[in-house]
Amino acid sequence: MKPLNSVISACPPSGIRRFFDIAAQRADVISLGVGEPDFVTPWRVREAGIYALEHGATTYTSNAGLPRLRELICAELSSRYQVDYAPDGECVITAGVSEGLDLALRVLLEPGEEVIVPEPCYVAYQPCVSFAGGVPVPVATHAEDGFRLRAQAIEAAVTERTKAVLIGSPANPTGAVQSREDLAALVELARRHDLYLVSDEIYDRLSYTAAHTCLPSLPGARERTVLLGGFSKAHAMTGWRVGYLCAPAPVAELCLRMHQYTMLCAPHVSQLAAVEALSAGGEDVAQMVADYDRRRRVFVKGLREIGLDCPEPGGAFYAFPSIRSSGLDSEAFAERLLHAEGVAVVPGNVFGAPGEGHIRCSYATALPLLEEALERMARFLRKGG
C-alpha cells in the first residue's frame, strides 16, 4: 500500500490522553490529568438545550452560527474588554476552540511558513501548525520567572519565514497569566515584523490574580490578531462543542469559507444552550470561578508543603509543580505515582522540552479529592518515589 500522510504519521499520540486512558482502568484513581471541569453544565443551560431539542432545533444553522449568539459574543467582548467586532463578518461560531485554531492556522499559513510557539504549551498547538503545512518554532519560557512571555526571546526566533505567534493566556499547562505590559511588547514586535497573532483565550474568565488582558484590545493588535474563545471551561460545556473565532473581516471570511466545507456549523442545540449561558449564566460562572480559586489556593499551598516547588498559577485550573527534587524525570514520576498511589498527573515533557522536570495537575476536582491526592503524593515522596 502507498504510504499515508507523513506529517500526521510523524505526530505522536496525545500524552495527556495516554495517562487518562491508564487511569480510567482503575477505580481507585484520583485523576488530576484531564483539563475538564468537574462541574455539570449549569441547569439553566442544560434546560435550554433540552427545550431546543424538544422544539426541533436539530437542523443546520447558518455556517457562521446563530446571529443571536454572535451578537451576544461580540457584545460581551465589547463590554468586558472594550474590543469591538462585527457579528456579521468578523465572528464565526466553531465546534470548540480546537476547530477555531485549525481554521486560523490553515487560513494564515502558506506551506513552510513558521509559527513561533512559546513552551510549555497546550499539546495541540505544534501539531496543528504542522497539519496546516507550517513549521512550529518553539521558544522556551521558564518557571523561575513565572513562565513569562519575553518579547526579546520571541524576537530572537523571528526569521524571514515567520508568519505568526501562537499564545495562550491564561495558559495550559502552567496556569500562567501574561501581563498587559508583556503582551503590549509582543504586539509591538508583531507590528515591526508584520506578524499575525493567534490568541487562545479559552480560560479568560478563569483569571484569579489579575484582570484578564484580551490581546486584540491592546493598541495596534486587533488588525493582526485572531481571537479564539469558547464555552467549554468557564461555562462547563466541554461536550457541547461550541466556541468562536473573531478576527478582521478578511481573515474571518476565509475561516468561514473553510468552515463551510468542513464542519458546516456547530451543533444547533449547543448554540442555543450557549445563548442561554451568555444571557443568564453569569452567576453560575462566578460561583464556579470562586470555587476553582479556593481549590487553587489550597492545592498550591499543599504542593509546596509536601516539598514540590510550584509557581503561582494565575489562571486556568492547572498547577505545574517542579518534581526535580524527587530525582525522577517527568515520565517516570507520573507513571510511578499512578501505579503506586493511584494519582494521575501528566508529565510536563509532553508540553514541550521546558516542561521536563514538572508535572501538570488539574485542580478541576472536588476539594476533598484534591486533599486526598496531596496525602497520597506526600506518601509517595516520603517513600522516595
As a whole number, mean pLDDT of residues 211-227 equals 97
Contact between residue 103 and residue 258 where contact means Cβ atoms under 8 Å apart? yes
Task: Give strand pairing partners of 197.
Answer: 165, 225
For the chain, give the longest Cα–Cα distance. Answer: 60
pLDDT tens string 202-214: 999 999 999 999 9
- Kindly tell me if the per-residue pLDDT of 17 is higher than 80: no
> Which ranges in the chain belong to alpha helices (H)?
6-10, 15-23, 43-54, 67-81, 96-108, 125-131, 151-156, 180-193, 249-261, 268-280, 282-305, 330-341, 367-382
Confidence of residue 385 (pLDDT cuts 50, 70, 90): low
Measured CA to CA, the distance from residue 345 to residue 110 in angstroms comes to: 37
Cell for 1?
500500500
pLDDT tens string 44-85: 999 999 999 999 999 999 999 999 999 999 999 999 999 999
- Kindly tell me if the per-residue pLDDT of 6 is higher than 80: yes
Q: For position 36, what pLDDT does the model report? A: 86
CA distances from 253 to 103, 115, 116, 250 (A): 11, 21, 24, 5
Measured CA to CA, the distance from residue 201 to residue 118 in angstroms comes to: 15
Q: For position 23, what pLDDT does the model report? A: 66
As a whole number, mean pLDDT of residues 109-136 equals 97
Burial class (CB in 10 A: 0-12, 13-18, 19+), 135: middle
Measured CA to CA, the distance from residue 132 to residue 83 in angstroms comes to: 28
Average pLDDT of every residue of the chain: 95
In the chain, the N- to C-terminal Cα span, in Å, equals 46
As a whole number, mean pLDDT of residues 306-310 equals 96
- Kindly tell me if the per-residue pLDDT of 19 is higher than 70: no
Q: For position 107, what pLDDT does the model report? A: 98
Q: For position 34, what pLDDT does the model report? A: 80
Confidence of residue 342 (pLDDT cuts 50, 70, 90): very high
pLDDT tens string 125-171: 999 999 999 999 999 999 999 999 999 999 999 999 999 999 999 99
Strands in 162-168's sheet, in edge-to-edge order, are 91-94, 243-246, 225-230, 196-200, 162-168, 114-119, 135-140
> Which ranges in 218-310 belong to alpha helices (H)?
249-261, 268-280, 282-305
pLDDT tens string 234-256: 999 999 999 999 999 999 999 99
As a whole number, mean pLDDT of residues 288-297 equals 97
As a whole number, mean pLDDT of residues 218-227 equals 98
Q: For position 143, what pLDDT does the model report? A: 93
Q: What domains can you pick out in the chain, each with its CATH number?
A: 6-41+283-380 (3.90.1150.10), 58-281 (3.40.640.10)
As a whole number, mean pLDDT of residues 261-273 equals 97
Cell for 106?
490553515
Q: For position 126, what pLDDT does the model report? A: 96
Contact between residue 52 and residue 41 where contact means Cβ atoms under 8 Å apart? no
Sign of the CA dihedral running 273, 315, 323, 98:
positive
Confidence of residue 27 (pLDDT cuts 50, 70, 90): confident
Q: For position 13, what pLDDT does the model report? A: 81
